[in-house]
A = this chain, B = another copy of it.
């Protein structure tokens, strides 16, 4: 049986395999060359793009299902992955459009088909090491690739809203939890880390203020080595203090 035939079978059997009317969508963030990027899919039958997503098996938790989807799209295990919001607007589902899209793939579904129902979707965001990811197509897509956050193409359904909400969550998180361990390489300079913060916040930060604050949280370790091969004075290298970072993830950076 070919992959496509297997997929056709899933579409037929879906109503007994999956939790009905519930899906998940993943906003996968990566950081590379001072750009925050998001992994997107383009389906063969559509002009707009989509977040990677999937359905939840009857014997899976949401977290297991999201990890499975991420593994399928990125090849990675053990990803930093968090639920952030469940989306339930009535207009987010478009059964008519779904029927048309599947018809173009020669998959005929009628209005009673499980895929032609209203879907509520659980949003997850993931922070991944860009360099370790090999984007993988799913059965309906022809491209799976990274887009810079400032040049996201038109997205289908409410995926732009889901992406914006993930980013908002990340921005809020930035103000009370450490961030970056799964986005940065092991060693990095202070300007590189500041660039990550600036990219997520969408605004420049004062260099000295940033350094003072981030060092004040004691989540960084300054290394003996310095970055070499740069034009100016060789900058210090830092890594995250894993123990302190984990504690701050639990307890927050600010306390009463």
> Quick one: closest B residue to A200, CB to CB?
B256
Known: A175-B255, A176-B252, A197-B256. A122 touches B86 (CB 8 A): yes
Give the segment of A17-25, A70-78, A226-234 that binds chain B.
A17-25
Cβ-neighbour of A176 out of B20, B58, B175 (below 8 A): B175
Q: Are A62 and B86 in contact (CB under 8 A)?
A: yes
User: DSSP majority for the A interface?
Assistant: mixed
Write out the residue numbers on chain B whose beta carbons fall within 8 Å of the beta carbon of A20.
19-21
Known: A83-B85, A118-B58, A120-B62. A252 touches B21 (CB 8 A): no
Q: Name 10 A/B residue pairs within 8 A (Cβ), A-sorted.
A: A20-B21, A56-B88, A62-B86, A83-B86, A86-B86, A172-B176, A175-B254, A175-B256, A253-B254, A254-B254
Q: Known pairs A19-B22, A176-B252, A176-B254. 14 more at Cβ < 8 A?
A: A19-B20, A19-B21, A19-B118, A22-B120, A58-B118, A59-B90, A61-B88, A61-B90, A83-B85, A172-B176, A175-B254, A175-B256, A205-B256, A210-B256
- The CA-CA distance from A58 to B120 in the complex, in Å, is 10
Write out the residue numbers on chain B whose beta carbons fall within 8 Å of the beta carbon of A137.
none
Q: What 1/0 mask marks residues of chain A from 187 to 207 whose CB sits below 8 Å from any chain B CB?
A: 000000000010001000100
Judged by a CB distance under 8 angstroms, whether A89 is at the interface is: yes
Q: What is the copy number of this chain in the assembly?
A: 2
- Write the nearest CB–CB distance from A91 to chain B, whole angstroms: 10
Judged by a CB distance under 8 angstroms, whether A63 is at the interface is: yes
Write out the residue numbers on chain B whose beta carbons fall within 8 Å of the beta carbon of A252.
172, 175-176
- Write the nearest CB–CB distance from A55 to chain B, whole angstroms: 12
- The CA-CA distance from A172 to B83 in the complex, in Å, is 16
- The CA-CA distance from A158 to B19 in the complex, in Å, is 20
- The CA-CA distance from A83 to B88 in the complex, in Å, is 11
- The CA-CA distance from A210 to B56 in the complex, in Å, is 45
A73-131 with Cβ < 8 A to chain B: 83, 85-86, 88-90, 118, 120, 122
Question: Number of contacting residues on A, CB 8 A?
Answer: 33
Write out the residue numbers on chain B whose beta carbons fall within 8 Å of the beta carbon of A61.
88-90
> Quick one: closest B residue to A58, CB to CB?
B118
Write out the residue numbers on chain B whose beta carbons fall within 8 Å of the beta carbon of A172.
176, 252
A156-215 with Cβ < 8 A to chain B: 172, 174-176, 197, 201, 205, 210, 213
